[in-house]
Chains A and B, each alone.
Chain A
Amino acid sequence: MHEFSLAQEVIKLAEYEAEKNNAHILSEITIEIGNMSGVDPDAFESALGLLKEGSILQDAYLNIIRIWGRGVCNACKKEFEMNQRMDTCPECGAFPSEIRGGNEFRVVSLGIYD
């Protein structure tokens, strides 16, 4: 249910931006979803696929890019890929002091027909 309201936000956003660019039909939408953003990419893609019918995104290709967060280890400073927020350093088992990326949930671009 949650991903449905997020998909609706995306459709509203796409329609608003398309109007600003005088576009009546979109060929593509590129969305980045971080693996720790709280958004399930599969559920979101399904929701958007269903809801886009009849909207400006009806024929658009849904380009969903998944981004993995990277943690910087608090102890050994090694940078490692994180699958979950609670992941620890694979070298020494400490928690990250810094997490880079993984929280994205943004519309990167729209493809419009000129």
Chain B
Amino acid sequence: MCETCGCGNPDGFKIHGPYNTHSHGEDHVHEHEHDHGHDHTHSHMHSHDDDHQHSHDQTHQKTVKLNIDILSANNLTAGMNRRFFEGRRVLCLNMVSSPGSGKTTILEKTIISLIPSKKIYVIEGDQQTHLDADRIAKTGATAIQINTGSGCHLDSKMVETALEKLDIGTNSILFIENVGNLVCPAMFDLGEQKRVVVVSTTEGEDKPVKYPNMFETSHLCIINKSDLLPYVDFRLEEFIKNCRIVNTDLEIITVSAKTGEGMDKWFAWIFNQLKK
């Protein structure tokens, strides 16, 4: 239920923004989105009225074969998002990680470095607050916040809805900062060109084998907080070995968003994607 006006959001998520340095200070616009682009209705209560003839006679049963992938609805919308990005020549990167790996800080530093030459947009995903979108807006990029409420991942429909509000320009970069979670986001294609998994040196070198789905479906792994390597038991070689077990094609970069070490390699990787 919405605290502002007491109504309910049938889709379960809320969008705040867009925010940029010009709109700073304005409060968020509370949007209620309704299901669109889908033929079927929301799952609402069916009352079993008396006018239905309930025949529980087993002999009049028939089986309808479907073989429908349950995640196909998400994949369909993801495909549409992907075509949209291609049409507008937008490089879309889906940033995934567990909470606290430093995704937002990496994005802040990245935007400051790239924004002179590229228009940058960010879709932020969190359960609550627009704290991250506010941080991003201060850097000069345009940010929009999705609050999932009890949801644990972003899906392609949320991204589609956010894109309608964002009005992305051509030849730009869109970062999607997913909800901090190394499990569920792995299953949901958002329509991104590449998926980037961020891990920090304080998290443990066995992450890739413990969360194989995430590392298998990613294209680049950023190891952040390299400045803390002298103080933790994280062995880079072991981590890379574990990555290779799960995904032989995974590219790996080590950075410190705080000190700037290695960030030039990350920027170079981004520019490489722009050429494709």
Q: Does B71 contact A (CB under 8 A)?
A: yes
Smallest CB gap from A85: residue in B: B212
Residues of B within 8 A of A (CB): 39-43, 45-48, 52, 54-58, 60-71, 73, 150-153, 183-184, 186-187, 209, 212-213, 216, 245-246
- Using known A-B contacts A15-B40, A25-B52, determine if residue A110 contacts B45 with beta carbons closer than 8 Å: no
Q: Smallest Cβ distance from B48 to chain A, in angstroms?
A: 8
23 contacts between A and B (CB under 8 A): A1-B150, A1-B151, A2-B153, A2-B184, A5-B151, A12-B40, A12-B43, A12-B73, A15-B40, A17-B66, A38-B183, A38-B187, A54-B45, A58-B48, A85-B216, A105-B70, A105-B71, A106-B70, A107-B67, A108-B66, A111-B61, A111-B62, A113-B57
Interchain CA distance A113-B150 in the complex, whole Å: 36
Instruction: Give chain A interface residues in 7-41, CB to chain B under 8 Å.
Output: 8-13, 15-17, 19, 21, 23-25, 27-28, 31, 38
- By a CB distance below 8 angstroms, the chain A residues around B66 are 17, 106-110
CA–CA, A23 to B55, complex, Å? 12
Chain A residues, Cβ within 8 Å of B70: 6, 9-10, 13, 31, 105-107
Which residues of A are in contact with B by a Cβ distance under 8 Å? 1-2, 5-6, 8-13, 15-17, 19, 21, 23-25, 27-28, 31, 38, 51, 54-56, 58, 85-86, 95, 105-114
Q: Cβ of A110: which chain B residues have Cβ within 8 Å of it? A: 63-64, 66
Contact for A17 among B46, B62, B64, CB less than 8 A: B64
Q: Secondary structure at chain A's binding surface: helix, strand, loop or mixed?
A: mixed
Q: Which residues of A contact B73 (CB under 8 A)?
A: 9, 12-13
- B152 contact set on A, CB distance < 8 A: 1-2
